Amino acid sequence: MKQSTSSDALLVSAYMKGNESALAELVTRHKQRIFSFIYSKVYDRDIAEDIFQDTFIKVIKTLKRGAYNEEGKFLPWVMRISHNLVIDHFRRNNRMPKFANNTDFNIFSVLSDSTLNIERQIIKGQVEDDVRRLIEELPDDQKEVLMMRIYKDLSFKEISEQTGVSINTALGRMRYALINLRKVIEKHNIILTN
């Protein structure tokens, strides 16, 4: 009861001495005026919330650092901080104009995030593991050609040089490797899609 009748200066002083409830009282006392002021400038509730929060973060830091010296003028000081933050907000928005979606056009219909989410990353890893295990089951000559072509990205000419077989043999081994992989996949109903 005593606190609610205390002046702002007394509450500020108490807060600077470590009384956290004094800040709660100050916020409760002035939140409506400060928030309405910010909202009247930005006309966006979320932005107003952010600026209100940033205002008090600045207030808290200044008071805790003992750098406040405007005793008795707490509200005008806080309003000035919020005013400066509103100006910062508009400056930032001018540099980086905000695109607001409307009902006719949604920017996300043309922009998409091509990176995989965690679930898809896991599925991709599992599919790659399955493919690797299937490749391990192939006969060695087919496996060798497939690994060189797909994983090492060698041309069939390079494969034929490295394995000492003709290009046609290398092509044939690759063909049989793929046929065999398809057979195993179909036989066991293995799903290899993400």
Site residues (CB under 8 A) for other proteins? 20, 23-24, 27-28, 31-32, 35-36, 39-40, 43, 48-49, 52-53, 56-57, 60-61, 64-66
Closest approach, Cβ 91 to other proteins, in A, equals: 21
Q: 159 exposed, middle or buried (CB, 10 Å; 0-12, 13-18, 19+)?
A: buried
> Is 85 or 177 the residue whose CB approaches other proteins more closely?
85
CA distance 56 to 29: 13
Report, in Å, the least distance between residue 38 CB and other proteins: 9
Query: Taking the complex as a whole, how short is the minimal distance between the CB of residue 80 and other proteins, in angstroms?
Result: 18
CB of 97 to other proteins, least distance (A): 21
Count of C-beta atoms within a 10 Å radius of residue 112: 7
Measured distance CA(32)–CA(48) in Å, rounded: 12
User: H helices then E strands: how many in the chain?
Assistant: 8, 0
Judged by CB, which is closer to other proteins: 17, or 65?
65
Residue 30 or 73 with smaller CB distance to other proteins? 30
Nearer to other proteins by Cβ, of 35 and 176: the residue is 35
User: What is the enclosing helix (H) or strand (E) of 157?
Assistant: helix 156-163
